Amino acid sequence: MEADHRIRVVVVGGGTAGWMTAAALATLIPGAARVHLVESAEIGIVGVGEATLPHLRAFVTRLGIDEAAFMAATNATFKLGIEFRDFGAIGERYIHPFGTYGRPLAGVGFHHYWLRRDREATIPPIGAFSLGVAAAADHRFARPGDDPDDLANSYGYAYQCDATRFAPFLRAHAEARGAVRTEGTVATVERHPENGDVTAIVLTDGSRIEGDLFIDCSGFRALLIGGTMDEAWEDWSHWLPCDRAVAAPCASPEGGIEPYTRATAMPAGWRWRIPLTHRVGNGYVYASAFLSDTDAMDTLVGSMEGRPLADPRLLRFRAGRRRRSWVGNVLAVGLASGFLEPLESTSIYLVQMAITQLIEHFPNIRVTNTDRDGFNALVDGEYDRIRDFLILHYHATRRDDSPFWNHVRTMAIPASLAEKMALWRQTAQVSQYRHGLFLEPSWIAVYLGQGVVPEGWDPRADLPDAAALDRAMTALHDGIAATVSGMPDHAAYLAAAA
């Protein structure tokens, strides 16, 4: 029998992060990695995380998972974006779509022309020039086509799915491709006496699992990256003070299913509402310095738009991340590597990004510093950019109705965000970066949605004659409205696909 020279990968944790990692490694690099996952029924999984980003589609496709099977197994609905209510000011709302606004004209972004005409005349809000926004607002959905230059395809979509069903679905996929699972709780961790690398984990029943590379997917416990490697924690709670959430499902109301997640600003944080096919997920993310747990639970239950299906669950967290996600031969993925609140549904994306980078930097025979440093630099960049984008949602507000909003409105923000906001205010330009989430349309959505209106715009947007520009904008607006009116109702589309 031939010797098995593959890297022995031990995944600690069987939540969404653990099973996404195991499924990806077992499917995509079966010749390089031998995957063994350990999960503890005694500890369980966090079991929240229902709203996702469009990137998850690429993950599902790359792993050869059938979209319809995945959606049926997780009671998923389609998601065109997030509706934000009461963030800029009470009574205001906007949709942050997965898609663009208008089309560039003579190489200049559409929003520059919109800003000009909005200053000069009464024109429709910028959302009326986004197919994703218009379809979401009308509760319509159809998968976009393949031609990216066609306005009818100028949007993307993600899923809203039952978090408790995603990991078991992936487990079946991973096990079918050779991943081995052990049920048990890790009691101790053995390390190499000289280099400090982890050599094995020992479970409470005494069984011992050796490995070459250990992936810490143990959730907030951060068993290996925190507990064993003692990697420092970079705390961001001074910018993102929400540190708790209460979550509870309720029955779906009669009528349609919104193809979007809703985030409603509350006196001490914000509340999510995520419609699935069989129920609605609800939660209140709040800062415990400004609100008691009991008040948060009462508010959540009182605000639900359907019969509660379970008692609210309390979750505690801290905003921040490990200084490094990959230390020695331990690599943290998921909540073990850091936490950014789910305001823009970014956690599962961060899991996916870490897995992609792990595969890119997967050790050839042994772990090298180059692989580790490359991985850590990319993960850091992703976290930092998402952090700034989340802080914007709090800081760009005119709300002064509660101590919480007064705090976030007036707090000092990271220099990197202050620079981005100054650039926008002066020139209507969005800072560009090569890697990371949230490109120009996302920043435009939040800036304009929350009343951060720039002083100027690209001077080239002043060149076209106003009447010609209006004709082009009207044609665009009418084209979007006509396309949306031809799209099926989201609930009907889901029913037809089932």
Nearer to ligand FAD, 165 or 221 (CB): 221
Residue 233: helix, strand or coil by DSSP? strand
Q: Among the candidate windows 77-85, 100-108, 345-353, 469-477, which touches ligand FAD by CB under 6 A?
A: 345-353
Nearer to ligand FAD, 110 or 326 (CB): 326
Q: Among the candidate windows 13-21, 113-121, 248-256, 288-296, which touches ligand FAD by CB under 6 A?
A: 13-21
What six digits make up the tokens of 227?
Answer: 């507990």
CB of 65 to ligand FAD, least distance (A): 17
79, 96, 279, 387: the active-site residue: 79
Cβ neighbour number for residue 145 with a 10 Å cutoff: 9
126 binds ligand FAD (CB under 6 A): no
What six digits make up the tokens of 246?
Answer: 């209460």
Among 25, 28, 38, 331, the residue binding ligand FAD under the rule CB under 6 A is: 38
Residue 127: helix, strand or coil by DSSP? helix
Q: Which of 49, 375, 76, 331 is nearest to 212 (CA)?
A: 331
For residues 399 and 408, the answer to whether their CB atoms sit within 8 Å is no
Instruction: Label residue 344 exposed, middle or buried (CB < 10 Å: 0-12, 13-18, 19+).
Output: buried
186 binds ligand FAD (CB under 6 A): yes
Nearer to ligand FAD, 133 or 351 (CB): 351
202 binds ligand FAD (CB under 6 A): no
Nearer to ligand FAD, 50 or 83 (CB): 50
> What phi and psi values does residue 110 have, to the nearest 5 degrees?
-55, -35
Cβ neighbour number for residue 255 with a 10 Å cutoff: 8
198 binds ligand FAD (CB under 6 A): no
199 binds ligand FAD (CB under 6 A): no
Among 24, 36, 39, 169, the residue binding ligand FAD under the rule CB under 6 A is: 39
Among 252, 299, 329, 347, the residue binding ligand FAD under the rule CB under 6 A is: 347
Put residue 124 in one of left, alpha, beta given phi > 0 → left and psi -120 to 50 → alpha. Answer: beta
Place of tokens 């089309």: 103
DSSP bridge pairs for 452:
none
Among 29, 108, 309, 315, the residue binding ligand FAD under the rule CB under 6 A is: 315
CB of 49 to ligand FAD, least distance (A): 3
Among 222, 223, 300, 461, the residue binding ligand FAD under the rule CB under 6 A is: 223
75 binds ligand FAD (CB under 6 A): no
Place of tokens 């109702």: 489
CB of 225 to ligand FAD, least distance (A): 11
Among 245, 263, 473, 476, the residue binding ligand FAD under the rule CB under 6 A is: 245
For residues 260 and 272, the answer to whether their CB atoms sit within 8 Å is no
Nearer to ligand FAD, 28 or 161 (CB): 161
Among 23, 33, 45, 354, the residue binding ligand FAD under the rule CB under 6 A is: 45
Among 133, 222, 335, 476, the residue binding ligand FAD under the rule CB under 6 A is: 335
Nearer to ligand FAD, 188 or 474 (CB): 188
> What phi and psi values does residue 42 have, to the nearest 5 degrees?
-60, -40
CB of 60 to ligand FAD, least distance (A): 14
226 binds ligand FAD (CB under 6 A): no
Q: How far is the C-alpha of 65 from the C-alpha of 205, rounded, in Å?
A: 35
49 binds ligand FAD (CB under 6 A): yes
Q: How far is the C-alpha of 389 from the C-alpha of 431, rounded, in Å?
A: 12
Beta strands in 132-222 (DSSP E): 158-160, 180-183, 186-191, 198-203, 208-210, 213-216
Q: Among the candidate windows 25-33, 46-54, 452-460, 471-479, which touches ligand FAD by CB under 6 A?
A: 46-54
CB of 171 to ligand FAD, least distance (A): 11
Among 28, 51, 430, 480, the residue binding ligand FAD under the rule CB under 6 A is: 51
Nearer to ligand FAD, 13 or 454 (CB): 13
How much of the chain is helix, strand and coil, in % rounded to 5? 40, 20, 40
318 binds ligand FAD (CB under 6 A): no
420 is catalytic: no
Q: Which residues contact 256 (CB under 8 A, 6 or more apart)?
A: 139, 489, 490, 491
170 binds ligand FAD (CB under 6 A): no
What six digits make up the tokens of 263?
Answer: 């985030």
Beta strands in 304-377 (DSSP E): 313-316, 320-322, 326-327, 330-332, 338-339
Q: How far is the C-alpha of 260 from the C-alpha of 135, rounded, in Å?
A: 10
Place of tokens 């068993």: 223
What six digits make up the tokens of 475?
Answer: 């044609």
What six digits make up the tokens of 233?
Answer: 């924690």
What would the x/- binding string for ligand FAD be over residues 253 to 292, using CB under 6 A?
------------------------------x---------
CB of 282 to ligand FAD, least distance (A): 11
Contacting positions for ligand FAD (CB under 6 A): 12-18, 38-40, 43-46, 48-52, 163, 185-186, 217-219, 221, 223, 245, 247, 283, 315, 317, 334-336, 342, 345, 347-348, 351
Catalytic residues: 79
